Amino acid sequence: MTELSRRADALRALHRPGDPLILPNAWDPGSARAVVAAGFPAIATSSGAVAEALGHADNEATPVAEMVAAVGRIAAAVAVPVTADLERGYGLRPAELVERLLAAGAVGCNIEDSDPRTRVLVDVEEQADLLAGIRAAARAAGVELVLNARVDVHLRAYGPAEERLAEAVSRARRYLAAGADSVYPIILADPADIRSFVAEVDAPVNIMARPGAPAPVELAALGVARVSYGSGVYAAARARTVELLAAIRAGDDPFVC
């Protein structure tokens, strides 16, 4: 078994419903090392945070070579599994996407089901084909990549509000059948909806920790298997930097609380 295979297996095993993997997403080697030093067993990147740190915008505005290189620097900086947020794949064919991802040292990825540029949900079968292609390419490379399928129904306010949960469940089931390991109904926050979603998909579920969402301990009780923070940690660090700079500009001591 290769080192990448071992890391992929370790990452998959960390997805335990009721005892979720907590992922404060990183954006560079320094933040990744800080996450590991704090005791977290894996690293997830945030496309938005990485993009902004590189001087680009999110939504696949970052040149793919720069995004993958950033993932590679993060993976090289830590000795734990790394899963990368690759939006919808930057237009790469599955084989090339997997080749670049594994070459960077990552063993997992997020793939979303809306077009990052238009914000429109893609056809469910088209998305399932993409996920199946990624799964097949990873297996051909000898690594059981941990594939997290993001479901953007609620993020994009797709369809009537009363039908969104059912649509998200339907899409999630199709993506799992296509080869996804876990599903990620991004911004789903109502505890009852989360409980229903978890029960109906009967597979590892990723929920984003954010204001208005249940706390990680509550998400664990709802059966969630993975909790990620998106660009939240990066945004908080950036906000603190702005405060420090304002204090310096005002002639104050920025390190006095």
Decide if pLDDT at 257 tops 60. Answer: no
Q: Quick one: pLDDT band at residue 255, thresholds 50, 70, 90?
A: confident
140-178 tens-digit pLDDT: 999 999 999 999 999 999 999 999 999 999 999 999 999
Task: Say if strands 82-85 and 43-44 run parallel, antiparallel, or are unpaired.
Answer: parallel
Q: How many domains does the chain have?
A: 1
The b/e string for 137-149 (b: 16+ C-beta within 10 A; e otherwise) is bbeebebbbbbbb
What percentage of the chain has pLDDT greater than the value 70?
99
Phi, psi angles (nearest 5°) of residue 45: -90, 165
Phi, psi angles (nearest 5°) of residue 24: -80, 100
Domain of 193, CATH number, reads 3.20.20.60
Asked whether residue 11 is assigned to any structural domain, the reply reads yes
Phi, psi angles (nearest 5°) of residue 81: -60, 145
Asked whether residue 194 is assigned to any structural domain, the reply reads yes
Coil, helix or strand at residue 228? strand
Model pTM above 0.75: yes
Asked whether residue 205 is assigned to any structural domain, the reply reads yes
Asked whether residue 257 is assigned to any structural domain, the reply reads no
Strand ranges across the sheet with 206-208 = 21-23, 226-228, 206-208
Asked whether residue 112 is assigned to any structural domain, the reply reads yes
Token pair of 154 as six digits: 């609620």
What local confidence, expressed as pLDDT, does residue 256 receive? 78
Domain range for 88:
3-249
Q: Quick one: pLDDT band at residue 1, thresholds 50, 70, 90?
A: low
Strand ranges for 24-66 from DSSP E: 43-44
From residue 75, give the alpha-carbon distance in Å to each of 32, 46, 70.
8, 13, 9
Coil, helix or strand at residue 39? coil
36-63 tens-digit pLDDT: 999 999 999 999 999 999 999 999 999 9
Asked whether residue 192 is assigned to any structural domain, the reply reads yes
What local confidence, expressed as pLDDT, does residue 13 receive? 98
Mean pLDDT over the full length of the chain: 97
The residues, any chain, with a CB within 8 Å of residue 36's CB and separated by 6 or more, are 43, 78, 79, 80
109-131 tens-digit pLDDT: 999 999 999 999 999 999 999 99
Asked whether residue 256 is assigned to any structural domain, the reply reads no
- Assign 3-state DSSP to the chain and report helix, strand, coil percentages, each to 5: 45, 15, 40
Asked whether residue 224 is assigned to any structural domain, the reply reads yes
